[in-house]
Amino acid sequence: MKILSDNTSLLKSLRPFNDLGFVPTMGGIHKGHLSLINKSNKLCKKTIVSIFINPKQFNKKTDLKSYPQNIKKDLKILKKSKKVDFVYIPKFNDIYKDRKKSKIKILKEDKILCAKFRKGHFEGVLDVMTRLTKIIKPNKIFMGEKDFQQFYLVKKLLETNYVTKIIPCKTIRDKNNLALSTRNLLLDKSQLKIAAIVYKSMSRIKKNIKNKKNIPHFLKFKKKELKNNYKIKIDYLELRNKKNLKLSKTTNNSRLFIAYYLNEVRLIDNL
């Protein structure tokens, strides 16, 4: 496993390879990241993982400040997996040296879910993903379905403009079915318990939704119920079509999306 900490060594090391799988991360490596790495290792000759906490996608300074990081531990886990050929740990300037201001705009129809509640977040994600793709030139990029809207927007942008394929990977969960996330490290025991209950409620809601005539009304009621029972702030609880992310009136080809806060920690999930 070779560590690449600047663009010169990256370009030199990657030059001989033309079947490259790329797993972008912000570190805090967990089994969710490792599942993406496994898939890349199976489908591509070489796998490169990036660790870069991209400041431009944080719409709150406090969120960026508290974002967990431990490069030493990450490298140990990645090495132990024996599935990673390169780890790219760029500095801010390696990515943003080309100071051209990003022209990325989120379309009005895409300003839904997290794009509506986290202003500027996806502009930052799409900017950094474009820059990483230009630098690394991967054949395939592996992304988690836990961040479904991110996968959807990145796929739409990058597959239109670059020769790369975005490969979705299933959400990995802990023993209580909570979707693994680096931000889970910020939760205490009682908050983890509530997060597990939210998952259970989501799967019950998804099951019951089938026989409901007025889905938005039913979800509005369930959102209120969750909010009152567990004292959580909920940004959205919506059923959307997984191909175009439009609001859905049936469970066919649809996913139930949630974003909520446990104190200051914002969690998302979809089933």
Residues making contact with ligand AMP (CB under 6 A): 25-26, 32-33, 35-36, 143-144, 146-147, 169, 171-172, 179-182
**From the CB of 32, what's the least distance to ligand AMP, in Å?**
2
Which stretch of DSSP H or E encloses residue 10?
helix 7-14
219 or 268: whose CB is closer to ligand AMP? 268
**From the CB of 6, what's the least distance to ligand AMP, in Å?**
21
CB contact at 8 A, 26 and 54? yes
Which stretch of DSSP H or E encloses residue 38?
helix 31-43
**From the CB of 154, what's the least distance to ligand AMP, in Å?**
9
Of 106, 118, 100, nearest to 60 by C-alpha is 118
Residues taking part in catalysis: 33
**From the CB of 27, what's the least distance to ligand AMP, in Å?**
6
What distances in angstroms separate CA 155 from CA 24, 178, 179, 247, one per listed residue? 14, 25, 22, 20
CB contact at 8 A, 147 and 86? no
N- to C-terminal Cα separation, the chain: 35
Greatest extent of the chain over all pairs of C-alpha atoms, in Å: 59
**Four-residue CA torsion sign, 35, 63, 56, 68:** negative
What distances in angstroms separate CA 10 from CA 33, 104, 134, 152, one per listed residue? 21, 26, 12, 28
35 or 254: whose CB is closer to ligand AMP? 35
164 or 181: whose CB is closer to ligand AMP? 181
179 or 198: whose CB is closer to ligand AMP? 179
Give φ, ψ of 259 to 5 degrees: -140, 130
Helices (H), 112-266: 113-117, 121-136, 148-161, 189-208, 215-230
25 or 133: whose CB is closer to ligand AMP? 25
Determine the residue with CB nearest ligand AMP.
144
Count of all residues that appear for the chain in the document: 271
Q: What tokens does 121 get?
A: 């977040």
182 or 254: whose CB is closer to ligand AMP? 182
